[in-house]
Amino acid sequence: MLVCDCNDVEFDAIKEAVKKHGDNLEAIMDETEAGTVCECCLEEDCDKVDLPLPLAIKKALEELG
Ligand code: FES
C-alpha cells in the first residue's frame, strides 16, 4: 500500500517507523522521507497515494495495539 508517491514509501516502512517513534510525525518523516517532497501525502485527502501519512500512522498504531 503506497503512502508516499514522491519517495515511494510503502505502509510496511511506516509501520516499522511507528514501532520506534509512535505517533511522532517529524521522526517518522525523517526516517522514511515520506511527506518531504510535494507534501500531498500529509493531507488525508491526497489522491496520489493509497493511504496518506496521517491515516497510515493511525492504522499502524491500531495494528500495533
Ligand atoms: S506524495 Fe509524499 S511527498 Fe509527495
**Which residues form the pocket of ligand 1, taking CB atoms under 6 Å from any ligand atom?**
4-6, 34-41, 48-49
* The pLDDT value given to residue 9: 98
pLDDT tens-digit series, residues 29-42:
999 999 999 999 99
* The pLDDT value given to residue 55: 98
37 Cα–ligand 1 center, Å: 5
38 Cα–ligand 1 center, Å: 5
pLDDT tens-digit series, residues 4-23:
999 999 999 999 999 999 99
Fold of 2-64: Arc Repressor Mutant, subunit A (1.10.10)
Angstrom distance (rounded) from CA 10 to CA 37: 15
* The pLDDT value given to residue 11: 98
* The pLDDT value given to residue 47: 96
Domain boundaries, the chain: 2-64
63 Cα–ligand 1 center, Å: 23
